[in-house]
Amino acid sequence: MKSSIGFRARRLGQIGALLAAGMLIVPVAMAQDATPNAAAEGDAIVRAMDPNNLPEEWKIPAKVTHVTNYGVHEWYQNLIKGEEARAAEYGIDFSQVDANLDLQASLAAVEEVAGQVDVINFTPVNEEASGPTITKIAKDTGKPIICESSPTEGCTTLVSIDDFAAGFKVGEWAGNYAKENFDGAARALDVGLPALTTTVARSEGFAAGLKSVLPDAQIVASVDGKGLKDEAVKVAGDALTANPDVNIIFGINDDSALGGLQAFESQGGDTAQLLVVGFGCEGNACKDALMEGGPYKVSAAMFPEYQGRLLIDAGVAAFNDVTLPAHIVAPTAAVTADNLGDYYTKGDEGYAANFDAIAKISVEGEK
């Protein structure tokens, strides 16, 4: 009897435990189901935001500061332009602090501005080293920190492109071009930057895209152009003498691609038998080169002005407690002389981004 009571009690206990566990598990499971949905919803909210048509209950952050890592680069100058313009539409007081590749200065700047602003936009000098400080500041202040370029622990979200996917797009384009114009022969020189994971992903994406069309395509040499045009001219010059049959030059940014092209031209190479593939297309140099009709025919455009908008929009959304995904993928496209006009309009003051067209670029499957 005692044992029967005991058994029943144990049985009841087990049932109770199962019910209790069930009561815990179901909401957790529901929450797990809800989190991706909420994140996807947040992603969609950010992409559709209109400063003149926000939900009534939303508040606008008074101040936003972007702590950049290398503000003198043309990418950041155009990114900041995009942020400034978008911030002005919201009536946000926007400012920029640049760390000039100094990790200590970068983290000190974030600590300094944290008490004075509502949202911090942050581009790390070194994502791993920045993680603990960013996590601490995010926890202490509760303010949204929107990261750009590289994922960093503690950030509310990351706004950046999928480097591999963008490289793949132009690699695929190059493969098709080589198929039509070089009888399928593709011997490529990669003017890369092996020190950064993002630029390595660009080179890998390019190679994968090229080989997806032409499996026999070869990356005959990979050199470190350090992302600088003068360095790219030098190392590409050496690599081209070792591999005079190169017919495709890929650069991890505009300067690397254009530097490779200059090296090719200075050696008296036949540019009719050359394809130059760039990455970024943030400045006029790339756009002018594309429109010239020379061997620079395609670039993976990253649209810095549009990313600037996304950064501000993500900050406003996070400020209003919208759940955001870990990564808001910014769009990229293989731009050529034929479609550059879809994304940029040339005026007296250079090229102006066509935001509606850029916003329509699909980022499906990109991460």
Contact 207, 268 (CB under 8 A): no
Binding of other proteins at residue 224 (CB under 8 A)? yes
| Cβ 77 to other proteins shortest distance, Å | 5
| Cβ 234 to other proteins shortest distance, Å | 5
Among 104, 116, 197, 241, binds other proteins (CB under 8 A): 241
Measured from the CB atom, the residue of 76 and 122 that comes closer to other proteins is 76
DSSP string, 197-255: HHHHHHHHHHHHHHHHH-TT-EEEEEEE-TT-HHHHHHHHHHHHHH-TT--EEEESSHH
Closest CA to 59 of 316, 272, 295, 275: 316
Measured from the CB atom, the residue of 138 and 300 that comes closer to other proteins is 300
At 331, list the tokens. 């769009």
Binding of other proteins at residue 230 (CB under 8 A)? yes
Contact 141, 115 (CB under 8 A): yes
| Footprint on residues 266-305 left by other proteins (CB under 8 A) | 266-267, 283-285, 288
CA-to-CA distance for 36 and 30, rounded, in angstroms? 11
Among 43, 162, 255, 313, binds other proteins (CB under 8 A): 255
Closest CA to 353 of 301, 315, 314: 301
Among 19, 195, 326, 352, binds other proteins (CB under 8 A): 195
Among 128, 238, 245, 321, binds other proteins (CB under 8 A): 238
What is the phi/psi pair of residue 246, to 5°?
-60, 130
| Cβ 37 to other proteins shortest distance, Å | 42
Three-state secondary structure of 121-176? EECCCCHHHHHHHHHHHHHHHCCCEEEECCCCCCCCEEEECCHHHHHHHHHHHHHH
| Cβ 239 to other proteins shortest distance, Å | 5
| Cβ 361 to other proteins shortest distance, Å | 24
Binding of other proteins at residue 218 (CB under 8 A)? no
Cα 112 to the center of its chain, rounded Å: 26
H or E segment to which residue 192 belongs: strand 187-192
Binding of other proteins at residue 102 (CB under 8 A)? no
Binding of other proteins at residue 251 (CB under 8 A)? no
| Cβ 101 to other proteins shortest distance, Å | 11
Binding of other proteins at residue 82 (CB under 8 A)? no
Among 210, 233, 274, 311, binds other proteins (CB under 8 A): 233
| Cβ 222 to other proteins shortest distance, Å | 8
| Cβ 123 to other proteins shortest distance, Å | 17
- Name the one range near other proteins by CB under 8 A: 19-27, 72-80, 138-146, 156-164: 72-80
In the block, residue with structure tokens 């010059």? 237
Binding of other proteins at residue 326 (CB under 8 A)? no
Binding of other proteins at residue 72 (CB under 8 A)? yes
Binding of other proteins at residue 221 (CB under 8 A)? yes
Residue 205 CB contacts under 8 Å (≥ 6 apart), including other chains: 163, 164, 165, 166, 167, 168, 169, 171
CA-to-CA distance for 110 and 105, rounded, in angstroms? 9
Q: What is the maximum alpha-carbon separation in the chain?
A: 101
At 311, list the tokens. 């950064």
Binding of other proteins at residue 223 (CB under 8 A)? yes
| Cβ 161 to other proteins shortest distance, Å | 19
CA-to-CA distance for 329 and 188, rounded, in angstroms? 28
Binding of other proteins at residue 80 (CB under 8 A)? no
Measured from the CB atom, the residue of 77 and 218 that comes closer to other proteins is 77
3-state secondary structure of 55: coil
In the complex, which residues of this chain contact other proteins (CB under 8 A)? 72-74, 77, 194-195, 221, 223-224, 226, 228-231, 233-235, 237-242, 244, 255, 258-259, 262, 265-267, 283-285, 288
